[in-house]
Structure 1
Amino acid sequence: MSESYISGTDHKIIIIDNAFNELDKIINYANNTAYYQPPGKDGTLYPGSRDEMPEPYYQAFSSLLARVFTSTVKHQVARCWLSKITVKPDQLSPLQTMPHYDSLLSEDMAAVHYLSGSELGGTNFYRYRKYDKVMLSKSDEPIIVDMLKQHQASNAQGYIDESNDVFEKIHSVEAKPNRVVIYSGNILHSPSVTAKVEFEKNSNNSRTSINSFFKRLNKT
């Protein structure tokens, strides 16, 4: 396990390699058993197809969190989504062409478990240039409204990767099979989608990951 900070900030990212035992069983489930719902059926803007992971994965993920965090912190797992990006760049809605946040609460965390390699893209982190914002909270709602207006005016197309006039890419995590990256859900981020990604669920070059969301709670 390693820890790093997003460049120029005090926002920590945790990276765990070889995170789960029996990765082959997880990949077999992803390729041969999972029933992927159409984009949007999970109630989010994720640009692809998803299926909720079975209970054994929840148990393994909870065990991983127990190893990562100290005994003074407990966690509550909300969802573990098996995810494949299947929406083509020219089919994205405007909100899908910008970095996003998963929550505005500092205790809400996110994790990405990569099943694909670096050739299909990792995760990028961004700063909203105008207000120098990397992490957002409920008190930033006026800034979020402004950010959406600025992004819409930019007429951005396709998946964001590099910096543009509205957002600066300030940190990247490379994908690696069986690597897990953990970060605060209120940090602006986006999946990196490389030119090698094919937007078909059954393709050998589909970008596949497990996106998990959990809450950190101090023990009382």
Structure 2
Amino acid sequence: MHDWTISVEQAEADHFSQLNHSYVCIKQFLKAPETAIGFASLQNFAAITPQYPGIRAPLPKAVSTDWLHALTPMLDSAFGRTDDGWEIQAWFSLVTARPQDLIPMQRFPHVDGTDPNQLAMMLYLNETDHGGTGFFRHRSTGFEALTDENFPAYRNALQADVQKSGLPDAAYVTDGAPYFEMIHKSTGAFNEAIFYRGNVLHSGIIDNSAELSADPRKGRLTINAFFRPSAKP
């Protein structure tokens, strides 16, 4: 019997930057992390979107539903209660693209959307040389989180940055230079989960000199999830 039990006993709620972005870190998230790794090793991973530099496979719906029930009190406390509860979408992810093969959009920090009510989770299930997740401020605008209102100004400013100084070299984001500065980062420790608003600029901290395996037992395996306020019936 697979054990997908999670624990929020070691949840630590915090904030980062002068803008006080909400952030939660939970250590020892899975009771039996080997269950998830073993299950992932049997899945058919595939490229899903051009934005993500790797491959993904869905997490079983029953598992994500059980997790949502267990996580809802923490999400409500740290990020604010929603009128109709939360919805979840979750999948396994493996970063596999070689640094030299990254397309321009993959060389910058990104957001998952401009809705501040959409939350994200990263659960690190690897013990590679790769790091966790970094959060960034765009230097020329000062923006750390993107909304429908400020996104046009951000897009125009970033285009101006690139026109003036060129695209970053084909490599994964490290400290964010020259157009961004890092304002916070997670350690990416094994079996550690972090939660944050998806509209804050962020990027995986990937070692550009380390191997990126497509084997879930050897690569940078994570479980990613989005939480959105439930749509009204």
Output the TM-score relative to the length of structure 2.
0.84
CA contact (8 A) 2:95 2:219 kept: yes
Q: What percentage of aligned pairs have identical amino acids?
A: 25
Q: Which of 22, 27, 34 is matched with 2:43 structurally?
A: 34
What is the root-mean-square deviation of aligned Cα atoms in Å? 2.2
Q: Conserved in 1, the CA contact under 8 Å of 2:139 and 2:180?
A: yes
Structure 1 counterpart of 2:104? 94
1:170 aligns with 2:197: no
Partners of 1:98 and 1:151 within 8 A in 2: no
Q: Does 1:212 align with 2:208?
A: no
Supply the AA of the counterpart residue of 2:62: P
Q: Distance in 2 between matches of 1:120 and 1:11?
A: 24
Residues 1:24 and 2:34 are matched in the alignment: yes
SS in structure 2 at match of 1:206 = coil
1:148 deviation in Å?
3.6
Q: Structure 1 residues 43 and 203, CA, compared in 2 at 3 Å: closer, same or farther?
A: closer
Consecutive unaligned residues of structure 2, counting only runs of 5 or more, are 1-10
CA contact (8 A) 1:197 1:207 kept: no
Amino acid at match of 1:76: E
Taking structure 1 as the reference length, the TM-score comes to: 0.88
Mapping of 1:31-70 within 5 angstroms? 31=41, 33-37=42-46, 39=47, 42-70=48-76
1:196 Cα offset (Å)? 6.0
CA distance in 1, matches of 2:45, 2:97: 13
Q: Structure 1 residue aligned with 2:87, among 64, 70, 76? A: 76
- C-alpha change, 1:151 and 1:109, in structure 2 (3 Å) is farther
Q: Is the 8 A contact 1:20 1:60 kept in 2?
A: no
CA distance, structure 2, for counterparts of residue 213 and residue 151 of structure 1 = 30
Structure 2 CA distance, aligned partners of 1:98 and 1:176?
23
Counterpart CA distance in 1 for 2:160 and 2:25 is 32
Number of residue pairs matched by the alignment: 214
Task: Compare 210-219 and 154-163 and name the one that shifted more.
Answer: 210-219
Report the CA distance shift for 1:58/1:147 in structure 2 as closer, same or farther (over 3 A): farther
Q: List gaps (5 residues or longer) in structure 1.
A: none
SS at match of 2:228: strand
Q: 1:45: Cα distance to partner?
A: 0.6
